[in-house]
Structure 1
Amino acid sequence: MSFTIQNVFIPVDGGYETVDVQIEKDRITKIAPGLEMLGKVVDGNNKLLLPGFVNAHTHSSEMWQRGLIPPVPLELWIAELYDFAPLDPEQVYLSALGTAVETLLSGGTSVVDHLVLIPGKEIETVAAAVKAYQEIGIRAFIGPLIQDQALASGIPTGEVQREATPYFRSTQATLELMQEVVAQFHSPEAGVHILVAPTGIQLCSDALFAGCIELSDRYNLCRHAHLLETKAQKQLAQEKYGCSAVEHLKRIGYLSDRTSLAHCVWLSDADIAILAETQSTVVHNPLSNLRLGSGIAPILKYCQAGVNVSFGCDGSASNDSQDLLEAIKIGSMLHNITDFDYRHWITPRQSVEMAAFGGAKGLNMAEELGSLTKGKKADLVLYDLTSLSLLPRTDPIGLLILGRPTQAVNSVWVNGRQIVDNGEVATVDVDELRHNLFERSQWDFNRQSKTVGEIEAHYREVMGLGLAKEYS
Structure 2
Amino acid sequence: MNFTIQNVLIATNDAYTTTDVQVVAGKISAIASNLDVVGTAVNGENKLLLPGFVNAHTHSSEMWQRGIMSVLPLELWLAELYDFAPLDTEKVYLSALGTAVETLLSGGTSVVDHLVLIPGQELETIATAVRAYREIGIRAFIAPLIQDESLTAGIPSGETERNHEPYFRSTADTLAIIEEAVRQFHRPEEGVNILVAPTGIQLCSDALFTGCIELSDRYNLCRHSHLLETKAQEKLAQEKYGCSAVEHLKRLGYLSDRTSLAHCVWLNDIDIEILAATQSTVVHNPLSNLRLGSGIAPILKYRQAGVNVTFGCDGASSNDSQDLLEAIKIGSILHNTTDRDYQHWITPRQSVEMAALGGAKALNMVDKIGSLTVGKQADLVLYDLTSLSLLPRTDPIGLLVLGRPTNAVDSAWVNGKQIVVAGKVNSINVDELRQKLFQRSQWDTQRKSQTVAEIEAHYRTVMGL
Structure 2 residue 323 is the aligned partner of structure 1 residue 323: yes
CA contact (8 A) 1:86 1:92 kept: no
Describe how 1:355-394 pairs up with structure 2 within 5 A. 355-394=355-394
Residue 94 (structure 1) aligned with residue 97 (structure 2): no
Q: Deviation string for 1:301-345 (max 9, x for gaps)? A: 000000000000000000000000000000000000000000000
Contact 1:311 1:355 in 2 (8 A): yes
Counterpart of 1:18, as a letter, is T
Q: Does 1:235 align with 2:261?
A: no
1:154 is matched with 154
Q: CA deviation at 1:84?
A: 1.2
Amino acid at match of 1:32: A
Which SS does the other structure have where 1:55 is aligned? Answer: strand
Task: Indicate yes or no: 2:165 matched with 1:165.
Answer: yes
Query: In structure 2, what is the Cα distance between the partners aligned to 1:169 and 1:255?
Result: 25
How many residues align? The count is 465
CA distance in 1, matches of 2:86, 2:178: 21
- Higher alpha-carbon deviation: 101-110 or 451-460: 451-460
Amino acid at match of 1:48: L
**1:195, distance to aligned residue in structure 2 (A):** 0.1
Secondary structure (helix, strand or coil) at the match of 2:443 reads coil
Partner residue in 2 for 1:108? 108
The equivalent of 1:246 in structure 2 is 246
Runs of 4+ in 1 over 6 A off after TM superposition: none
Q: Secondary structure at the match of 1:152?
A: helix
Q: What is the CA distance between 1:237 and its match in structure 2?
A: 0.1
Per-residue CA deviation, residues 174-206 of structure 1 (Å, 9 max, x unaligned), is 111111111111111111000000000000000
Instruction: Give me the whole-angstrom Cα distance separating, in 1, the residues matched to 2:292 and 2:52.
Output: 28
In structure 2, the residue matched to 1:132 is 132
Instruction: Provide the residue aligned with 1:5 in structure 2.
Output: 5
Whether contact under 8 Å (1:64, 1:86) holds in the other structure is no
Residue 469 of structure 1 corresponds to none
Amino acid in the other structure paired with 2:375: G
Superposition deviation, residue 159 in structure 1: 2.1
Q: Matched residue of 1:144: which SS?
A: coil
Query: How far apart, CA to CA, are the structure 1 residues paired with 2:21 and 2:227?
Result: 40
Q: How does 1:265-280 map to 2 (within 5 A)?
A: 265-280=265-280
Cα deviations by residue, 1:52-111 (Å, 9 ceiling, x for unpaired): 000000000000000010110000001111111132000000000000000000000000
**Alignment correspondent of 1:214:** 214
What residue is the counterpart of 1:188 in the other structure? Answer: 188
Tell me the alpha carbon deviations over residues 371-421 of structure 1, each in whole angstroms, 9 at most, x when there is no partner. Answer: 000000000000000000000000000000000000000000000000000
- Provide the rounded CA distance (Å) in 1 between the counterparts of 2:315 and 2:328: 15
Aligned to 2:294: 294
8 Å Cα contact 1:281-1:310 kept in structure 2: yes
In terms of mean alpha carbon deviation, does 42-51 or 77-86 score higher? Answer: 77-86
Displacement of 1:350 in angstroms is 0.1
Deviation at 1:23, TM superposition (A): 0.1
Mind listing any 5+ residue stretches in structure 1 that lack a counterpart? Answer: 466-472
Cα distance in 2 for residues equivalent to 1:84 and 1:129 = 20
Matched letter for residue 254 of structure 1: Y
Q: What CA distance in whole angstroms lies between the structure 1 residues aligned with 2:377 and 2:147?
A: 34
Give the SS at the match of 1:141: strand
For structure 2, the 5+ residue unaligned runs are none
Match of 1:201 in 2: 201
Q: 1:343-388 CA distances to partner (integer Å, 9 max, x unpaired)? A: 0000000000000000000000000010000000000000000000
> Equivalent residue for 2:437?
437
1:14: Cα distance to partner?
1.7
Q: Deviations over 1:16-44 (max 9, x none)?
A: 00000000011000001111111100000
Give the drift of 1:450. Answer: 1.1
Q: Which amino acid aligns with 1:75?
A: E
SS of the aligned residue for 2:9 comes to strand
| Cα distance in structure 2, aligned partners of 1:228 and 1:28 | 39
Deviation per CA, 1:261-316, whole angstroms, max 9, x where unpaired? Answer: 00000000000000000000000000000000000000000000000000000000
Q: Secondary structure at the match of 1:115?
A: coil
Structure 1 residue 120 corresponds to structure 2 residue 120: yes
Residues 159-168 or 270-279, more deviating = 159-168
CA distance in 2, matches of 1:212, 1:14: 42
- How far apart, CA to CA, are the structure 1 residues paired with 2:177 and 2:397? 44
**1:449 and 2:459 aligned:** no
Distance 1:178 1:111 in 2: 19
Matched, 1:426 2:426: yes
Q: Which amino acid aligns with 2:84?
A: F
Name the aligned partner's letter for residue 389 of structure 1: S
Counterpart of 1:62?
62
Q: Deviations over 1:114-134 (max 9, x none)?
A: 000000111111111000000
Which one-letter code corresponds to 1:106 in the other structure?
S
Instruction: Identify the residue that residue 343 of structure 2 maps to in structure 1.
Output: 343
The separation in 2 between residues aligned to 1:281 and 1:353, in whole angstroms, is 14
Matched residue SS, 1:201:
coil
Q: State whether structure 2 residue 260 is matched by structure 1 residue 260.
A: yes
- How much has 1:424 moved relative to structure 2? 0.5
| Partner SS state of residue 334, structure 2 | helix
**Which residue identity does 1:336 align to in structure 2?**
N
Aligned-partner Cα distance in 1 for 2:438–2:26: 36
Q: Is the 8 A contact 1:61 1:86 kept in 2?
A: no
- Distance in 1 separating the partners of 2:217 and 2:163: 35
